[in-house]
Structure 1
């Protein structure tokens, strides 16, 4: 990957694209440091102190810490990502949206416009919700009368406009830079927050010096596990199952076509980090509600016990979290891959899987293969997401979102490297080989 970046830097056009991408990332980080007016950010420090493990902590991670500081980019690209996921799901259920995805560039342009509108609506709803959260926490300077109404309007519009500006910055990277814009903005935010690793290491060393010598062994063990986890994620992110396909020869006029061998690639981790995002969102909802309704254990013992059971340190949280990851992984693969369509496309192009008859046997074989690969991918995601929670409970350190961060960082880095290689191969093949 480093060799790829070095070769890309030698090409003038690619160097301009890389510098433009870097400029956008710098502007994004500057926006993450500009506070929204009329908010006392220090009043929110207790809400994010120590790692809450709920939805707010997840949103704070995705925004690069901007949410906890109440800056204009507090929502980050989360509204745009949610809108994209929702539109993907709706495109399966609504025929009009499904037809738009098949109408070429014009249909894609309409789909992006609708997605932007949905993202703006989601950003507005999240802005309103976050306004009431910070108001309940006593972080607003003005809450009553005209000053309170004016403050509410300014804060909500600032959060909403900031999320739309983040989406625009990501789109600029897509058109004039290198890589996926929204993914790179998330990547920059997560990397900027890796200073918390130093805090975690300091915490472990401090506990070891204060009479808990077992933490002297935990620290090197965690470092080794982190290195193993990176290697593990890289290998399984690139791993794929290739189903061989043989195309029959056919004569058209005086020329013969076909006869070549190919394959259908099925990636082990074809869903990326999406199942973890879905699962963490659902599992963190009870904890988020519990933090803001202030239940009395004596007055509501059953509700208190229910919400307390979904603390991210509990065994129930871990079990439900893992089961939801597996379920969402199967669901997301089901809406992405249609074995019947793949089998029909192979038959139309005179392609067959060696040893498998065309038609239903082919679709059954692809379905069986997909089921096996999906299970392996689900287990991989469950390990990556669940292991930090277990280690966090053992060491007393908040690393419950470490698996999600690792998947995003490694995935974006590999995706950007592949984008550079593809760009150089398509336009500067000779220079790339040198």
Structure 2
């Protein structure tokens, strides 16, 4: 081993690192390039917008749902760029497809068919994304015209605006899929992470421009560090269910000793998906209501939608209640999709494995279901507290930015997943090198 290579096997020389980990290096470059394209696209405006009226409108919408939606779009909504819809249509379509696959037998059968079934479900998700993006683009464009935020009206604005918004949403869906396949990490999560990170500096600077008490700022900084440490601890926590393998006799009288292993069950098996799903579902009706309320002569339907947006403002009691309920629901729902106790129990039985003190088959299934329900309850309570507690504190102290618990949770979990995948690539290369050395 050369002098420039430490005991870990990772070269200290950058050029040697690039040559040794060529695949990882190309994946990281692709991820960086995709995020740069995404940030550049978020600055391309929709044709026909009035920038002065748009800036005036968003100056009074910082602490509303539009402010939160703007944060998740990385400022694309405030600039009314072609990517103003963000990846919310794709997330909403994914929610619908996953929920329908749990209740429709034909979709559930597709989910069990492996790669071919997954491709068909992805096709349904893309079609749903296109439909939702079109509906949201029409509603947003109509709200912009009604609010006097455009330079023209009628079809001369609606056709190019709707086309641009739908094309931007579909491009983001494609870009996210490409990041997942050719980059590192989950593509949609990485796009959301980039949006939140790009919006965070402006929000923090805006908070300091409000002449906040230095003690309050220090308390929030310490609270943020404590919450981050808690997220890292909980996300790494596991419940290890012991699993024993029966003795095997092969080759005449040769008996293999009983092997012991464990089944790792994460405390938060759903990851960051419940927070994203709950936020997207609450944003949709309130955002449409906000746009409808911008009209100078609102109709009865627009008045109803505006009242809904006022009731569902971040920090309101109804919002906190619905947000918490949706987080808990999606924690149980997504965990049930990710982990099937009956299937795991059947696989253990086929491989001759058993949980000590639990009989194989139905008793193993009931035991795993019992353990999973307890873990999911703890994980759901943890996620609800993380997402709601900062919002309650922000409302009480009047903090003028939306970097709440859900945003912090998304950033930390996505960053942890990114680091884990990078480490997996590094370990794969080291294992390959060790295999080559032993073969020689």
**Same fold (TM > 0.5):** yes
Q: Which residue of the other structure, out of 324, 329, 337, is the alignment partner of 1:327?
A: 329
Bigger CA drift: 115-124 or 21-30?
Answer: 115-124
Q: Per-residue deviation at 1:226?
A: 1.0
* Cα distance in 2 for residues equivalent to 1:273 and 1:14: 25
- Asked if residue 91 in structure 1 is aligned to residue 101 in structure 2, the reply is yes
In structure 1, the residue matched to 2:264 is: 265
* Cα distance in 2 for residues equivalent to 1:378 and 1:41: 42
User: Which residues in structure 2 correspond to 1:21-170 (within 5 Å)?
Assistant: 21-49=31-59, 55-143=65-153, 148-170=154-176
Q: Per-residue deviation at 1:344?
A: 2.2
Q: Per-residue deviation at 1:218?
A: 0.7
**Helix, strand or coil at the partner of 1:67:** coil
Q: Per-residue deviation at 1:431?
A: 6.5
Q: Per-residue deviation at 1:66?
A: 0.4
In structure 2, the residue matched to 1:20 is: 30
In structure 2, the residue matched to 1:216 is: 214
In structure 2, the residue matched to 1:177 is: 183
**Helix, strand or coil at the partner of 2:74:** coil
* Cα distance in 2 for residues equivalent to 1:239 and 1:42: 50
Bigger CA drift: 397-406 or 351-360?
Answer: 397-406
Describe the shift of the 1:94–1:269 C-alpha distance in structure 2 as closer, same or farther (beyond 3 A): same
* Cα distance in 1 for residues equivalent to 2:177 and 2:286: 34
- Asked if residue 355 in structure 1 is aligned to residue 361 in structure 2, the reply is no
* Cα distance in 2 for residues equivalent to 1:309 and 1:167: 31
Asked if the contact 1:385–1:401 (Cα under 8 Å) also holds between the matched residues in 2, the reply is no
Describe the shift of the 1:288–1:74 C-alpha distance in structure 2 as closer, same or farther (beyond 3 A): closer
**Helix, strand or coil at the partner of 2:422:** helix
Asked if the contact 2:293–2:305 (Cα under 8 Å) also holds between the matched residues in 1, the reply is no
In structure 2, the residue matched to 1:187 is: 193
Bigger CA drift: 275-284 or 249-258?
Answer: 249-258
Q: Per-residue deviation at 1:31?
A: 0.3
* Cα distance in 1 for residues equivalent to 2:145 and 2:328: 37
Describe the shift of the 1:49–1:391 C-alpha distance in structure 2 as closer, same or farther (beyond 3 A): farther
Q: Which runs of no fewer than 5 residues in structure 2 stay unpaired? A: 1-7, 436-440
Q: Per-residue deviation at 1:124?
A: 1.4
Asked if the contact 1:388–1:400 (Cα under 8 Å) also holds between the matched residues in 2, the reply is no
* Cα distance in 2 for residues equivalent to 1:158 and 1:193: 23
Asked if the contact 1:55–1:280 (Cα under 8 Å) also holds between the matched residues in 2, the reply is no
* Cα distance in 2 for residues equivalent to 1:429 and 1:185: 31
Q: TM-score, normalised by structure 1?
A: 0.85
Describe the shift of the 1:284–1:29 C-alpha distance in structure 2 as closer, same or farther (beyond 3 A): closer
Q: Per-residue deviation at 1:256?
A: 6.5
Q: Which residue of the other structure, out of 410, 426, 429, is the alignment partner of 1:408?
A: 410
Asked if the contact 1:53–1:401 (Cα under 8 Å) also holds between the matched residues in 2, the reply is no
* Cα distance in 2 for residues equivalent to 1:419 and 1:274: 18
* Cα distance in 2 for residues equivalent to 1:402 and 1:171: 27
Describe the shift of the 1:331–1:175 C-alpha distance in structure 2 as closer, same or farther (beyond 3 A): closer
In structure 2, the residue matched to 1:417 is: 419
In structure 2, the residue matched to 1:275 is: 274
Describe the shift of the 1:317–1:106 C-alpha distance in structure 2 as closer, same or farther (beyond 3 A): closer
Describe the shift of the 1:32–1:303 C-alpha distance in structure 2 as closer, same or farther (beyond 3 A): closer
Describe the shift of the 1:153–1:365 C-alpha distance in structure 2 as closer, same or farther (beyond 3 A): same
In structure 2, the residue matched to 1:212 is: none
Q: Which residue of the other structure, out of 371, 374, 380, is the alignment partner of 2:373?
A: 371
Asked if the contact 1:244–1:261 (Cα under 8 Å) also holds between the matched residues in 2, the reply is yes
Equivalent pairs counted in the alignment come to 417
Asked if the contact 1:245–1:262 (Cα under 8 Å) also holds between the matched residues in 2, the reply is yes
Q: Which residue of the other structure, out of 223, 226, 229, is the alignment partner of 2:224?
A: 226
Q: Per-residue deviation at 1:426?
A: 2.3
User: Which residues in structure 2 correspond to 1:266-305 (within 5 Å)?
Assistant: 266-284=265-283, 287-288=286-287, 291=290, 292-293=292-293
* Cα distance in 2 for residues equivalent to 1:166 and 1:230: 28
In structure 2, the residue matched to 1:211 is: none
Q: Per-residue deviation at 1:403?
A: 1.2
Q: Per-residue deviation at 1:165?
A: 1.3
In structure 1, the residue matched to 2:242 is: 244
Q: Deviations over 1:34-72 (max 9, x none)?
A: 111101243233544365555533432221110121111
Asked if the contact 1:247–1:258 (Cα under 8 Å) also holds between the matched residues in 2, the reply is no
In structure 2, the residue matched to 1:427 is: 429
Q: Per-residue deviation at 1:425?
A: 2.0
